[in-house]
Amino acid sequence: MSGIARAAIVAQARLWIGTPYRHQASLIHVGCDCLGLVRGVWRAVVGPEPETAPPYSPDWAEALGEETLALAAHRHFAVVEMNSFRAGDVLLFRFRDHSPAKHLGIATSATHMVHAHGGVCVAEAPIGLWRKKLAGAFGFPGVMN
For the stretch 35-50, pLDDT in tens is: 999 999 999 999 999 9
| CATH of residue 44 | 3.90.1720.10
Is residue 29 domain-resident?
yes
| 65-94 b/e (C-beta count within 10 Å ≥ 16 → b) | eebbbbebbeebbeebeeeebebbbbbbbb
Beta bridge partners of 134: 93
- Whether residue 133 contacts residue 104, with contact meaning beta carbons closer than 8 Å, is answered with no
pLDDT of residue 74: 96
In whole angstroms, give the CA distance from residue 34 to residue 59.
Answer: 14
Is residue 75 domain-resident?
yes
Whole-number percent of the chain with pLDDT over 90: 81
Is residue 144 domain-resident?
no
| Residue-number span of the structural domain to which 91 is assigned | 6-49+58-139
DSSP state of 47: -
Is residue 16 domain-resident?
yes
Is residue 1 domain-resident?
no
Is residue 145 domain-resident?
no
Instruction: Look at the chain and report how many structural domains it folds into.
Output: 1
In whole angstroms, give the CA distance from residue 131 to residue 84.
Answer: 12
Is residue 126 domain-resident?
yes
Is residue 38 domain-resident?
yes
**Is 43 in a helix, a strand, or coil?**
helix
pLDDT of residue 65: 72
pLDDT of residue 56: 81
pLDDT of residue 57: 77
Q: Which amino acid is it at 10?
A: V
Q: Give the chain's residues under pLDDT 70.
A: 1-2, 60-64
31 vs 9, 34, 37, 42, 68, CA distance in Å? Answer: 19, 10, 9, 16, 22
pLDDT of residue 1: 43
